[in-house]
């Protein structure tokens, strides 16, 4: 199976000045035997990025917000993943979908609700936390 993880990161969180902290998102993809193997490979790769680059500096929190499983790469037509529509100003609400329903054949959304960051006061589960 093919697994795609979408992650949020909050980096350099030890700094008190907002301009010194970073946040963003990234995706990882791998072919693996099962979900657990894919998650282990994601963690291993993120740790490698931390050791070999400046991507995840300092006190860093990483959250998995989507976890997709694909039977195979699409061959006849492209599959849409991670659609997001934002209304106006960046603080406005937005609509987001991992795999829009018309494109979800052969694709499953796995366990993403348990790994999303705190939204509207809901607790969060950190995928990986590196200390400064």
DSSP per-residue string spanning 77-108: SPPP--EEEE-SSTTS-EEEESS-GGG-TTEE
- Is residue 27 in some structural domain? yes
- Is residue 42 in some structural domain? yes
Residue 130 has pLDDT above 60, yes or no: yes
Residue tagged 């282990």 (tokens): 40
Q: What is the pLDDT of residue 42?
A: 96
The number of domains in the chain is 1
SS3 of residue 31 by DSSP: strand
The answer to whether the beta carbons of residues 21 and 13 sit under 8 Å apart is yes
- Is residue 37 in some structural domain? yes
Residue 107 has pLDDT above 90, yes or no: no
Q: Considering only CA atoms, give the Rg of the chain.
A: 16
As a whole number of angstroms, the distance between CA 109 and CA 43 comes to 19
Which structural domain range is residue 66 located in?
Answer: 2-76+104-130
The 8-class DSSP code of residue 115 comes to G
- Is residue 93 in some structural domain? no
- Is residue 13 in some structural domain? yes
- Is residue 61 in some structural domain? yes
pLDDT > 70 fraction of the chain, expressed in percent and rounded: 69
As a whole number of angstroms, the distance between CA 114 and CA 124 comes to 8
Give the CA dihedral 67, 73, 77, 83, nearest 10 degrees: 20
Q: Which residues pair with 25 in a beta bridge?
A: 8
Q: pLDDT, tens digit, for every residue of 56-96?
A: 999 999 988 888 888 888 888 888 777 776 666 655 555 55
- Is residue 110 in some structural domain? yes
Residues sharing a CB contact under 8 Å with residue 47, sequence separation 6 or more, in sequence order: 128
């Amino acid at each position: 199976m093919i697994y795609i993880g979408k992650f949020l990161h909050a980096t350099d969180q030890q700094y008190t000045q907002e301009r010194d902290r970073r946040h963003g998102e990234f995706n990882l993809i791998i072919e693996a035997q099962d979900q657990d193997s894919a998650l282990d490979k994601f963690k291993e790769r993120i740790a490698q990025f931390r050791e070999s680059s400046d991507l995840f500096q300092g006190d860093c929190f990483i959250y998995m917000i989507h976890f997709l499983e694909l039977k195979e790469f699409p061959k006849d037509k492209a599959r849409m993943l991670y659609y997001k529509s934002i209304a106006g100003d960046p603080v406005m609400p937005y609509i987001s979908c991992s795999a829009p329903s018309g494109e979800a054949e052969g694709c499953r959304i796995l366990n993403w609700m348990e790994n999303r960051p705190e939204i509207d006061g809901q607790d969060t589960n950190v995928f990986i936390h590196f200390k400064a």
